[in-house]
Chain A
Amino acid sequence: MAAADPRSAVETVWRIESARVIAGLARMVGDVGLAEDLAQDALVAALEHWPESGVPDNPGAWLTAAAKNRAIDLLRREKTYERKQEELAREVGARFAIERSEFDAALAEEVGDDLLGLIFACCHPLLSENARVALTLRLLGGLTTAEIAAAFLVSEATIAQRLVRAKRTLREGRVPLEVPQGEELTERLPSVLGVIYLIFNEGYAASAGESWIRRDLCEEAQRLGRVLTELAPGEPEAHGLIALLEIQASRSAARVGPGGEAVLLGDQDRSRWDPLLIVRGLAALKRAEGLPGPLGPYGLQAAIAACHARALRAEDTDWVRIAALYDALSQLTPSPVVDLNRAVALGMAFGPAAGLELVDQIAGEPALASYRLLPSVRGDLLGKLGRDAEAAAEFRRAAAMTENVPERELLLRRAAEHGRRG
């Protein structure tokens, strides 16, 4: 068999190592964008050398060393020509006021905190949500600009521009490459978790026909979530998030029907849920629960997902517990959508009247005005109470609110069934 193509070998190593290489450099030079440039230079050097010399034994260390040499060259030039016009170079010089031996030692150190610092920088509140996502995938996921563009169905130029602007924002905002501590950590962690969840949901929304890179976003989000729990094992919400992602991902094969239509949780073939991911999700939830303090929003959503995961049949679902968890969630992050879910759980746990009572309380919320699940849930509860004419009207209303053809047909069918009985 032929030896591995050196170019692809370089790219493979790059994918594995780039985040750590960039993180280590970013701390040294104090600038995410410059660190990426230096690491890219190292990648180019690897592409030049490896095809001739072969892939080195420790390719990650090679890349780091090459990038480091570029950084030192830059430093030397900076010292020789002294203060130049470029603000960028000035900053590098200032931050390079350390001895070379220290520089070596720092790079050889455990990069865990650097990597975590890089994650926090990529998800910095100075950046827009779009920019955070793109930068995270680029610097921590090692995705190319083209891959990110394909994943988010936008042009490569858009992503390239977004990345350039994001790096400039971080530089101009003098965002430090460090892990926030204490209260600041509590404040900024949700932004990191939010970015990972967003990446996951983008992939979860992708349909079967779409490019693999889009669907791979789920796996990349799960990977990032796992990395985060390794870097910040004391953060219950990091475990809560990965628990939620693993359990949601466990349903991937069951949530889409043969015609590509969505299959609701209660109708899914549970034998197709991925037991490995369920076990991982439940273990992560247990870790979140084992840490001090009550569960946060991700932990609670994971606990709800876990109730479904534990039920071998839909009718075994512990709806009383789910209703209690939604209650806790709605206190933590009040939202009419959470309340609507709580109403469904209440209806399942304590009967349709209990659910309907809550639905009617929130029905006037402006946020739910065009939310098609509201009439659909209300119709379901009314139908169970034997109020067929009202149920039919609600299903018709819900049908008018959806663009999705199979879903509309299903709703109209339910409307007709209740219409006949009413």
Chain B
Amino acid sequence: MRFMMFMYPEIAEEEWSPSAEAVAEMSRYNEELRKAGILLALDGLHPPGEGARVKFSSSGEAPTVTDGPFAEAKEVVGGYWVIQTRSKEEAVEWAKRCPGENCTIEVRRVFEMEDFPKDVQEAVEQG
């Protein structure tokens, strides 16, 4: 099974760049994931101030684009990992080992073709 771990750091935009110490600690954690043979991908993201949101409302209307930062946003993604584990419990166990501080990690299972109902699978095939 494949899981995505989203990191939601509770830090202000201007403090977005982590310290060398924090980076070193996180690197050690990433190394653990790698040594366990479960790390498939990971990335850290630039602060939301440099990003944008593209919002869609009712159909037919053009999407609205808002440049960051997003004052109303409670949680913003700071980075992600893609890991391969045998269960959700195992993925959660790995998430718990992250050297986090004032942050939340959300663990989500990645859809695989078999998880979709037959008609969706067929739609993909014809796509």
Q: Compute how far the CA of A227 lies from the CA of B38 in the bound complex, rounded to whole angstroms.
A: 8
| A-B CB pair tally, cutoff 8 Å | 58
Determine if A18 is an interface residue (Cβ-Cβ < 8 Å).
Answer: no
Determine if A219 is an interface residue (Cβ-Cβ < 8 Å).
Answer: yes
Determine if B87 is an interface residue (Cβ-Cβ < 8 Å).
Answer: yes
B82–A230 contact, CB under 8 A? no
A219–B114 contact, CB under 8 A? no
User: Which of these binds chain A: B58-66, B70-78, B88-96?
Assistant: B88-96
Distance (whole angstroms) from the CB of A44 to the closest CB of chain B: 19
A276–B40 contact, CB under 8 A? yes
Q: Compute how far the CA of A269 lies from the CA of B113 in the bound complex, rounded to whole angstroms.
A: 14
Q: Contacting B93 at CB < 8 Å: which of A12, A225, A226, A269?
A: A12
What string of 1s and 0s marks CB contacts (under 8 Å) between A14-48 and chain B? 01100000000000000000000000000000000
Contacts A258-B122, A258-B125, A276-B82 given; does A4 touch B89 at CB 8 Å: yes
Residues in A with CB closer than 8 Å to B82 are 276
Q: Compute how far the CA of A219 lies from the CA of B110 in the bound complex, rounded to whole angstroms.
A: 15
B36–A227 contact, CB under 8 A? yes
Determine if A9 is an interface residue (Cβ-Cβ < 8 Å).
Answer: yes
Residues in B with CB closer than 8 Å to A253 are 112-113
Interface size class of B (residues with CB under 8 A): 20 to 34
Q: Which A residue's beta carbon lies closest to that of B121?
A: A258
Q: Contacting A223 at CB < 8 Å: which of B38, B94, B113?
A: B38
A276–B41 contact, CB under 8 A? yes
Q: Compute how far the CA of A272 lies from the CA of B41 in the bound complex, rounded to whole angstroms.
A: 19
- Interface residue total, chain A, C-beta cutoff 8 A: 29
Q: Contacting B90 at CB < 8 Å: which of A12, A112, A269, A276?
A: A12
B114–A225 contact, CB under 8 A? no
Contacts A225-B37, A230-B35 given; does A16 touch B93 at CB 8 Å: yes
Q: Which B residue's beta carbon lies closest to that of A256?
A: B113
30 A-B pairs with C-beta separation under 8 A: A4-B89, A9-B93, A11-B89, A12-B92, A12-B93, A16-B36, A16-B90, A16-B93, A216-B86, A219-B1, A219-B86, A220-B86, A223-B37, A224-B37, A225-B37, A226-B34, A226-B38, A226-B39, A227-B35, A227-B36, A227-B37, A231-B35, A253-B112, A258-B121, A258-B125, A269-B125, A272-B124, A276-B40, A276-B41, A276-B82
- A12-B93, A220-B86, A269-B125 given; name 9 further pairs at CB < 8 Å: A8-B89, A9-B93, A12-B90, A15-B90, A16-B90, A222-B84, A223-B37, A226-B37, A272-B113
